[in-house]
Homo-oligomer: A and B are copies of this chain.
Amino acid sequence: MNENLNLHKHISSQFNDDLERVKTSVLAMGGLVEAQINDSITALIEGDSRLAQKVRDKERAINSMELDIDAECATILALRQPAASDLRMLLAALKSITDIERMGDEAKHIASFALKLSEDGEAGAGYEEFEKIGKRVRKMTSDAFDSFARFDVELARSVVNQDRGVDSAYHAATEKLLSKISDHPENLAQDMNVMWSLRSLERIGDHCINIAEYVIYLVEGDDVRHSGSKDKK
């Protein structure tokens, strides 16, 4: 075994550590955002203003994680010369964290609506639908991050498929809420808070699709985005 080989091995193993660290950081950020989503949903359903406030307070930590991972990826790109799947992994990480951060934004929006609802009084409808869609979106979120953790293309594809159910449930829920508002517009402000929260859930589902599509790209090298599956109205 000569010096060069050792050196090469060392560099390569250091590089693996770099990539592994990025992956771990993305998953840690994902875990935090998943908790934010769960807490914001619970806060709205249970009218828990303390939990809602907690979600809002935590957003700053997520933002700073995004910046750290971005900087880490840029450093690796500059210092190493990643190619093929290593490069795809870094690009997938760079794109995913933007979506993860925006999922965190949506959780903060839901938490803000939950706060308003706990201050101004409950809405007259929509909680049941919000809870059901929330459950689906939580599953999508969890599956999206798992697919990234395990580079699991099948799971990633199932995330894309799950979104259809979320979309149709979302449309049914907003229709129902609109017809309730139409008949009883007296709690409009509160009902609109539930409406916006439903919209945030639907957006979180869209971000899950994006992440799942980055996983498919990273594993297969194919860019499946805009192939029809995610064409949202």
Contacts and interface: CB of A to CB of B under 8 A. Distances in A.
A192 B192 CA distance: 10
Interface string A208-230: 00000000000000010110000
A226 B188 contact: no
Interface residues of A, number: 37
Number of copies: 2
A67 B225 contact: yes
Given A94-B91, A181-B188, A226-B64, A78 B71 contact: no
B192 A185 contact: no
Interface string A72-111: 0010011001111001100100110010000001000100
Given A181-B185, A182-B185, 17 more contacts: A60-B226, A63-B225, A74-B87, A74-B88, A77-B91, A78-B84, A78-B87, A81-B81, A91-B94, A95-B98, A98-B98, A105-B232, A112-B233, A178-B189, A181-B181, A185-B185, A199-B199
